[in-house]
A and B are shown apart, each in its own frame.
Chain A
Amino acid sequence: MSELVTQRQSGLQKKYRFTEAKRNAISGYLYIAPFFILFAIFDIFPMFFSFYLGFQKWNGLGEMKFYGLRNFELIFTDPIFWESIWNTFIIGIISTVPQLIMAIILAFVLNSRLLRFKNFFRVSYFLPYITSVVAVTLIFKIIFSNHETGLVNILLNYLGFKSISWTTSYWGIKVAITIMIIWRWVGFNTIIYLAGLQSIPNELYEAATIDGASQVQQLRHISIPLLRPAITFTVFTSTIGSLQLFTEPLIFLTKNSIRQEGITMVLYLYRDAFERSNFGKASATSIVLFLIIVIVASLNYYLSNTIGTRKRRD
């Protein structure tokens, strides 16, 4: 037996040239290398190159020309750029707020005991989320058709309202896109809240009931505070998501008709780069967009933190 062990050990020593610590270091770094290689090529390099390109004039083919701050000047004096920021924020607000409120209501209802068919409801609410944005937009594009025969227009006519030209009117585009976003995301957020609610121990509610707390009081003092992490998460993701809005308006407006009523920040950048071959200006836009995302994200973070601490002090 002991012979076997010594044999094994000598076998070990023969097999490896390096010490254990060195071997660990080598494999440790080797296993994480693919990430850093791909990240350096496809993320880090483009990021820095973006900052470089933002100060050049380049159509993607010829020579680059140093352009100084001209690109930024062009952007900031372009009313359509401001329009795109306005559109992005307005769609972001009118889609995020109702979406989260609806999700909270559905989650609370779904969480109440004694209800049946829960899984059916869960699955139906979640189904829109697994559907691709492209498919969703194409379906809603026909439902929100400009013609009298579009489903929503039929409904509006039936109720005595005039038809709306959804892909050309100022609010029509925004409302149609907002409804698509809400439809796709309510279920996802509902399930997130539901998971949060289910993780709250039952004893808390029982104790509150014994102490005579009403349902509304329980909601305010138990459910909502304990749901805070889930709420913070969903607010954060929907904010970032709405700042990056792109596919819905692109497909809803179809090729070569990116109208200013529906243009978003990413769409503005895309149009400059891929329809007008103005890579310098598009890169400059992406720098501005990056800064806006950083500002909004940190504001978001700051707000959710301060609101939390104030609540805790009460």
Chain B
Amino acid sequence: MVKEYQLGLEKRRKSLSVGKVFLYLILFIGALCSLFPFYWMFVMATNPTHLIASIPPAVIPGSHTIENFRNVLNRIDFFGSMLNSLIVSAAVTFGQLFLCSLAGYSFAKIRFPGKKVVFAIVLGTMMVPKQLGLIPSYILVAKWLGWLGQLQSVIIPYLVGAFGIFWMNQYIKEAIHDELIDSAKIDGCSNFRIYYNIVVPNILPAFATLGIIVFMQVWNDFMWPMVMLPQLNNTTIMVALRNLNDLHASDYGMIMSGVFWATAPLIVIFLSFNRLFIESLTQGAVKG
């Protein structure tokens, strides 16, 4: 039995040493496919268009970085759009962290009648597809509330979400013991004080996870901002990039410059915190 096992191990080790090269080859090809478009974007962002659109095309980074970016700045309000995206993403993220954790705490730790039914309703709302309401939402927000072209149109509807509540509820349930809350109650803490002084300091990891998920979603969102902020200026960076492409599609160097500088900050942040990002974005997906 043991001999067989050792034989099996030996076999495996041998086949691995032969197959190892093959495995690395698969992984390497995968990484190449994954990274090549980024490299190509960088090459195009640093070269003049006439060198990109020629045979053979430029394949190494060029010296046209500043000119390309200057062209972007002349055509769209790049920094203004970046700032708008930052404001919108940050506002929605803070709103979600606060309101979702508050609601999650309520579901996890406060006893009130009808809680189970209400929680089931919250979960059920995750099933409703957003597109069904796209047109009426547009009419409501743009025409009746009169928010067309204003940033609150892409902030307020997203300030709290069912997924965030569900996520926070799960986390708070496990992370905070009932005894802790009971003893705080005996000391005369109100429910909000308990939330503020006990719950919040103990769920910082959940804040990081949900924060990353929400921020990324809002930063990369396109459809709703495009509908709500259709003007050339005072829009989010994703809509601005699309406008840039619609107006000057043939100036590859300039368009890629815009895409590159809009994408670079997030890539740098992702690379610096890659473990946290990958864990957050996949964990949130699986448990949701």
Contacts and interface: CB of A to CB of B under 8 A. Distances in A.
A28 B57 CA distance: 63
A140 interface: yes
A154 B23 contact: no
A247 to B, nearest CB: 5
B270 A127 contact: yes
Contacts of A287: 132
Interface string B47-88: 000001111110000000000000000000000000000000
Given A127-B267, A187-B34, A53 B136 contact: yes
B80 to A, nearest CB: 17
A222 interface: no
Contacts, number: 273
Contact of A135 (B112, B140, B263, B282): B263
B214 interface: no
Interface in B202-222: 216, 219-220, 222
Interface centre among A119, A255, A287 (most CB of B within 10 A): A255
B53 A149 contact: yes
B31 A120 contact: yes
A219 to B, nearest CB: 14
A106 interface: yes
Given A34-B159, A151-B57, A274 B252 contact: no
Contacts of A49: 133, 136, 139-140
A265 B3 CA distance: 62
A237 B285 contact: yes
B110 A27 contact: yes
A289 to B, nearest CB: 6
B132 A289 contact: yes
A161 interface: no
A283 B140 CA distance: 14
29 contacts: A27-B106, A28-B111, A31-B191, A35-B103, A38-B156, A42-B157, A46-B135, A46-B137, A60-B139, A115-B20, A121-B31, A122-B278, A125-B31, A126-B277, A128-B37, A130-B216, A132-B220, A132-B222, A135-B41, A135-B262, A138-B255, A149-B55, A151-B57, A186-B34, A188-B285, A210-B1, A244-B129, A255-B246, A286-B133
Interface of B: 1, 4-5, 8-9, 12, 16, 20, 23-24, 26-27, 30-31, 33-35, 37-38, 40-41, 44, 52-57, 99, 102-103, 105-107, 110-113, 115, 118, 122, 125, 128-129, 131-141, 143, 156-157, 159-162, 165, 185, 188, 190-192, 195, 216, 219-220, 222-223, 227, 238, 241-242, 245-246, 249, 252, 255-256, 259, 262-263, 266-267, 270-271, 274-275, 277-278, 281-282, 285-286
